Amino acid sequence: MNEMTKITTLKDWETDQEVRWCPGCGDYAILKAVQRTMPELGVRPEDTLFISGIGCSSRFPYYMETYGFHTIHGRAPAVATGAKLANPDLDVWIITGDGDALSIGGNHTMHLLRRNLDCQIMLFNNEIYGLTKGQYSPTSRVGTTTPSTPYGSVDRPASPCAFALGAGARFIARGIDIHKDLTNVLKAAHAHKGAAFIEIFQNCIVYNKDVFEEFAAKKTAASTQLLLGNGEPMLFEKGAKGITLNRDTLELEVVDVVDGDWQAAGVIVHDVTNKSVAHMLIDMPFGEFPMAIGVLYDDPRPTFEAAVVEQNAKASEGKKPDLQSLLNKGQTWTVTEDGPEL
Amino acid sequence: MATALKQDEPNSPNPEGAENVVVRFAGDSGDGMQLTGGQFTLSTALAGSDLATFPDFPAEIRAPQGTLFGVSAFQINFGSRAIETAGDEPDVLIAMNPAALKTNVDALREGGLIIADEGEFGKRNLDKAKYETNPLEDGSLAKWQLLKLNISQLTLDAVKPFGLGNKEALRSKNMWTLGLALWMFERDRQPIVDWLKNKFAKLPAVADANIAALNAGHAYGETAEISGDGLGGGHLTQRKVGAAPSAPGTYRTVTGAESISLGLVAGVQLAGLEMFFGGYPITPASAILHHLSRLKEFGVTTFQAEDEIAAIAAAIGASYAGKLGITSSSGPGIALKGEAMGLAIMTELPLVIINSQRGGPSTGLPTKTEQSDLYQAVYGRNGDAPMPVIAARSPSDAFFCAIEAVRIAVQYMTPVMLLTDGYIANAAEPWQIPDVSTLEPFPVSFLKDMPEGGLKPYSRDAKLARPWIKPGTPELMHRIGGIEKAIDTGHIDYAPATHQQMTEIRRDKVLGVAESIADQDVALGEKGGKLAVVGWGSTFGPIHQAVRRAVADGKDVAHIHIRNIWPLPKNLGDLLKSYDNIIVPEMNTGQLKTLLRDQFLVDAKPVNKTSGQPFTIAEIDAAIEENLS
């Protein structure tokens, strides 16, 4: 199927199920973004499989008019691996959250990324356990006060994108639930052959309201977000500032851009295949730097299921799947009415 | 115990003059005793004797040399009659060092023959085995026949021409020993020679050295007999054990791990499917993963997952996608899979779970056998989570059990657990290879078209099974999950009445499996009477032998062997109630006993053993005696 061939409309991707998220939840915006994106991918609902774990985000498959599997806590990547190996033609999307993917299912997330199963992983990061009523999560910042941490959390948070990069992911992107650019991130993820990891900052209106507001708020976005485009200079603040590499410290720095001359300011051009820069973009401390949004890293390599299919085919070459001869393999002897003989 | 003749005629007595011999090879875990035993088994099987084996090895791969805990043993019982156990007491013990002697000699029958490698009985090894004096010299072995041979030196002499180093040369000790054993029982050396040549095709010097050692051991037997040289008091004599009567057909030896793998391949083919096998390494289940990973041409995809949970979760994903998902593990790994089994039960997807039981709880006894996962299999999940459970009784039976597990899984859209154990997994026996054309196919039909009245993924057929729909099928998109769902549509619905009804449907569906299984038969003895000895799994052999003896002595005893652990056969309750007394020998503290008491309100009494070793016939004899009086 050609990319961009519209064979469906948004309506084709909506189920008749009543959506059960809290009013104002960021999940609604993500659901709409996905349903809006699907027709543009030129894919068919019957070839599409949404697989989720447990948590608020994991109800997602029930609202997509595709094949869907709401599995158990943390195990969606493992279920997805089996489904994709069983039928590599399926277009597999994994819907997960910060607790699901990084706490109880951290092991599976790591192995799916290292194996490079062709799928899209959408990690809805709201830095909280919503469905269990607001305990701190592995991405909650130090000092997060919740029912299980009444005096504030003391453990340091995990960085989803750094985790993904460390695990060997070849596509890493960030998006914001209500951001209109989320669609483009989804399209890029889908176009990437292999495991495409997307961290989506998702606002939990009830238990962690506006935790991303400092960079997600629309009115300050120009100065708080670095919107990445492959081959484009890393500019923000309407082009007045940019990101450069300090060649002495080998660290990123914010520089002022005068009269739009970003080259003179030494602003870096984003190359999605540069892993070292991707690492630095992921690690940029917010405040001193803007938050990097968009495709951080995209450098495909052969996928797991393709390698499995290839090896299975090669190992089967010239062999007949004859059950009787399989059973008769090895040293056998025959017993006749007169007794045994070799 | 493997032959069709014996299965068809369980009551047939042993022919007159039939005999059997039990040999135990014991040595250091580096001495190659399992290999020696395996090759001796092969040549014995090729000679037509019936046999059963019991490999007994430590959990450590290479335990410190010469230690008591590093001893590895392999026992084989072979004979010209039906063999159903690896034998109670060895007639011959081959001890490669003091530790092997110490840990095994007490099992030897009085008057039995010890063949000891005296070259290994130096002070250092005696110390390691905690012998204060040399048992080969101090008379402490007087109730047995003792043959002292310097096997180490004899091996070194035999392989000298091949220029191997001392250490390398001594590795052929096991082949020297095997050569002697082959001579003792008039077995053919050629299959072993062929096997060595093949195994060491790239190291011809090693192959030649091993063959020379094998021949030297054999020649030693011949010479020693001719010279009548009684070494250490024991006499080396040759003894021919003839072929056992068995049904005409083609035979091979098979271990449980092999037969389960073959049965799964057969079952999946009979269902018209392809297999996805998700596994994670664990003793003693890994061998199934190893076997299946070499059978890709049969449409088998194997996946070594990151953990036990991923292995079953991937299998469930594959089943959803339209292959048959299979996973395999042992007790601790099965525990990890528990939640995912619930998911398969809730989403009503076919799945086969093989549990090669081992001693527990926790890590327990990784390489020793036990039957202590019956509760885990039948009950071990959260919620009301019914699941069919089948238990194999022997390596050959496991082939058919695997097919049966596949059949139930796909016909009832349910996970099925197949219980085997470390003993069945590793033990070998002769197997009459089935003619595949006699295996009845049970082809799966996926739902492909929109049914009249719209799609209802949780609608049900007469068996209460829901339709199996492959993703990729146009129009039939649907969502499933572990959360409670509405009747028919499968939409999220946890209304009180819905959960009540769905729980009952899931229960009734699994209970309905009893409609498709055979009535419980009596393996040996009469229906009704004084005493029923009820067993399951790998205790079949010792129970059967003990009951056979009791029946031959005119005692009113029957053997009932249960293959379908859940649901139980429909007639089982009535059958059990036709006996005055019921005993249930199990390698656990009484799990089937509890199940039978619960289901049928019968006074089943436990006979338990949890030493990590199979029951001996004598132990069952004693239990029968006690419960008849």
DSSP A156-223: PPP-HHHHHHHHT-SEEEEEETT-TTHHHHHHHHHHSSSEEEEEEE---TTTSTTTTHHHH-GGGHHH
3-state secondary structure of B403: helix
Whether chain A has a CB inside 8 Å of the CB on B249: the answer is yes
How far apart are the C-alpha atoms of B542 and B86, rounded to whole Å? 9
| Kind plus residue range of the DSSP H or E element containing B113 | strand B113-117
Residue B361 to residues A129, B101, B117, B421: CA-CA distances in angstroms?
Answer: 33, 30, 38, 15
Check CB contact under 8 Å for B296 and A311. Answer: yes
* Cβ-contact B97, B27 below 8 angstroms: yes
pLDDT tens figures, A59-94: 999 999 999 999 999 999 999 999 999 999 999 999
Q: Token pair 């004859």 is at which residue?
A: A322
- B177, B31 Cβ separation under 8 angstroms: no
Contact B90, B74 (CB under 8 A): no
Residues 343-362 of B with CB under 8 A from A: 343, 347
Q: What phi and psi, each to the nearest 5 degrees, are found at residue A292? A: -75, 125
Are the CB atoms for A305 and A283 separated by under 8 Å? no
Q: Are B262 and B292 in contact (CB under 8 A)?
A: no
The 10s digit of each residue's pLDDT in B128-145 is 999 999 999 999 999 999
Q: Is B476 in contact with A46 (Cβ distance < 8 A)?
A: yes
Phi, psi of B429 (to 5 degrees): -155, 160
The rounded distance, in Å, linking the Cα atoms of B71 and B33 is 9
pLDDT at A337 over 80: no
Q: In sequence order, which residues have a C-beta less than 8 Å from that of residue A53 and are 6 or more positions away?
A: A71, A72, A73, A74, A75, A76, A95, A96, A97, A100, A101, A104, A105
Q: What is the C-alpha to C-alpha distance for residues A82 and B319, in angstroms, rounded to an integer?
A: 8
- Residue B444's alpha-carbon distances to A47, A160, A267, B179, B429, in angstroms, are 22, 42, 62, 51, 33
For the segment A196-202, the average pLDDT, to the nearest whole number, is 98
Q: What residues contact residue B9 under an 8 Å CB cut-off, 6+ apart?
A: none
Contact B31, B173 (CB under 8 A): yes
Section A283-300 average pLDDT: 97
pLDDT tens, A128-143? 999 999 999 999 999 9
Q: Is the pLDDT of residue B228 over 90?
A: no
The single-letter DSSP state of residue B360 is -
Cβ distance A243 to A226 under 8 Å?
yes
CB contact under 8 A, A68 and B246: no
Question: B59 to chain A, minimum CA–CA distance in Å?
Answer: 27
What tokens appear for B175 in the block?
């082949």
* Inter-chain contacts counted by CB atoms under 8 A, chains A and B: 214
Locate tokens 């493992």: which residue? A78
B250, B278, B322 ranked by CB distance to A328: nearest: B250
Does an H or E element contain B191, and which?
helix B190-199
Whether B590 contacts chain A with CB within 8 A: no
Section B36-55 average pLDDT? 89
- pLDDT greater than 60 at residue B229: no
The answer, for B48 touching chain A at a CB cutoff of 8 Å, is yes
pLDDT digits (tens, 9 = 90+) for B535-589: 999 999 999 999 999 999 999 999 999 999 999 999 999 999 999 999 999 999 9
Among residues B43, B396, B246, the alpha carbon closest in space to that of A336 is found at: B246
CA-closest candidate to residue B95, choices B225, B234, B195, B211: B234
User: What are the distances in angstroms from CA A148 to CA A132, A141, A151, A201, B160?
Assistant: 11, 14, 9, 23, 73
Structure tokens belonging to residue B338: 């528990």
Evaluate the CA torsion angle B88, B91, B96, B102 in order and state its sign.
positive
pLDDT of the residue at B234: 63
CB pair distance less than 8 Å for A62 and B436: no
Task: Give strand pairing partners of B278.
Answer: B303, B327
User: Tell me, what's the pLDDT at B265?
Assistant: 98
In this prediction, residues A224-248 reach a mean pLDDT of 97
**Window 277-306 of B, Cβ < 8 Å to A:** 278, 295-299, 301, 303, 305-306
- β-bridge partners, A93: A50, A120
Contacts of B276 in chain A (CB under 8 A): 82, 85-86
**CB contact burial A102-119 (16+ within 10 A = b; e otherwise):** bbbbbbbbbbbbebbbbb
> Which two tokens mark A238?
């309407």
**Which strands sit side by side in the sheet containing B92-95, from one edge to the other?**
B50-56, B71-79, B20-28, B92-95, B113-117, B145-149
d(CA B248, CA B228): 40
Ramachandran category for residue B365: left, alpha or beta (phi over 0 → left; psi -120 to 50 → alpha): beta
DSSP string of B74-89, one letter each residue:
EEEEEESS---SS-SS
E strands, B344-460, are 351-357, 389-391, 415-421, 428-432
Segments of chain A assigned E as strands? 48-52, 67-70, 91-97, 119-125, 128-129, 135-136, 171-176, 195-201, 225-227, 235-236, 241-246, 251-256, 291-298, 332-336, 339-341
Tokens of A98: 């910060």
Which among B504, B445, B449 has a CA at the least distance from the CA of B473? B449
Q: List the end-to-end C-alpha distance of chain B, in Å, as a whole number.
A: 30
Instruction: Tell me whether B552 touches chain A (CB under 8 Å).
Output: no
Q: Which residues of chain A lie closer than 8 angstroms to B474, CB-CB?
A: 44, 46
Q: Is the pLDDT of residue B165 over 90?
A: no
Of B326, B388, B382, residue with least CA distance to B354 = B326
Of B248, B306, B325, the CB nearest to A335: B248
* Under 8 Å between Cβ of B559 and B390: no
Q: Does A319 touch chain B if contact means CB atoms closer than 8 Å?
A: yes
* ipTM tops the 0.90 cut: yes
Nearest of B118, B117, B113, B111 to residue B92 by alpha carbon:
B113
According to DSSP, the β-strands at B389-391 and B113-117 are unpaired
Distance CA A277, CA A268 (A): 9
Whether residue B335 is predicted with pLDDT greater than 70 in this model: the reply is yes
Contact B261, B405 (CB under 8 A): no
d(CA A244, CA A226): 13
Q: Which two tokens stand for residue B298?
A: 């049969």
Closest CA to B589 of B574, B568, B611: B611
Q: For residue B233, what pLDDT band results from cuts at 50, 70 and 90?
A: low
pLDDT reading at B114 higher than 80: yes
CB contact under 8 A, B317 and A319: no
Identify the pLDDT of residue B241. Answer: 83
pTM: 0.93
> Using an 8 Å Cβ cutoff, are B538 and B393 in contact?
yes
pLDDT for position B232: 54
Q: What is the pLDDT of residue B1?
A: 44
Query: CA-CA distance, B305 to A111, in Å (whole number)?
Result: 9
Question: Residue B125: what are its φ and ψ, rounded to 5°?
Answer: -70, -35
Using CB atoms and an 8 Å cut-off, which of residues 565-584 of chain B contact chain A? none
Q: Which residue of A has its CA nearest to B437?
A: A324
Count of CB atoms within 10 A of residue B239's CB? Answer: 11
pLDDT (tens digit per residue) in B75-101: 999 998 888 888 889 999 999 999 999
The chain-wide mean pLDDT, for chain B, equals 92
Measured in degrees and rounded to the nearest 5, phi and psi for residue A50 equal: -100, 125
Confidence of residue B15 (pLDDT cuts 50, 70, 90): very low
Q: Three-state SS for B549? A: helix
Q: Are B421 and B370 in contact (CB under 8 A)?
A: yes
* pLDDT the model gives residue A334: 86
* Phi and psi angles of residue B95, each rounded to the nearest 5 degrees, phi first: -110, 120
Please report the pLDDT score of residue B12 as a whole number.
36
Rounded CA separation B161/B281 (Å): 42
The predicted structure's pLDDT at residue B6: 40
Q: Judge whether residue A267 has pLDDT over 90.
A: yes
| pLDDT of B514 higher than 50 | yes
Instruction: Please state the rounded mean pLDDT for residues B178-200.
Output: 92
Pairing between strand B351-357 and B324-329? parallel
Q: Which residue of chain B comes nearest to A72, CA vs CA?
A: B482
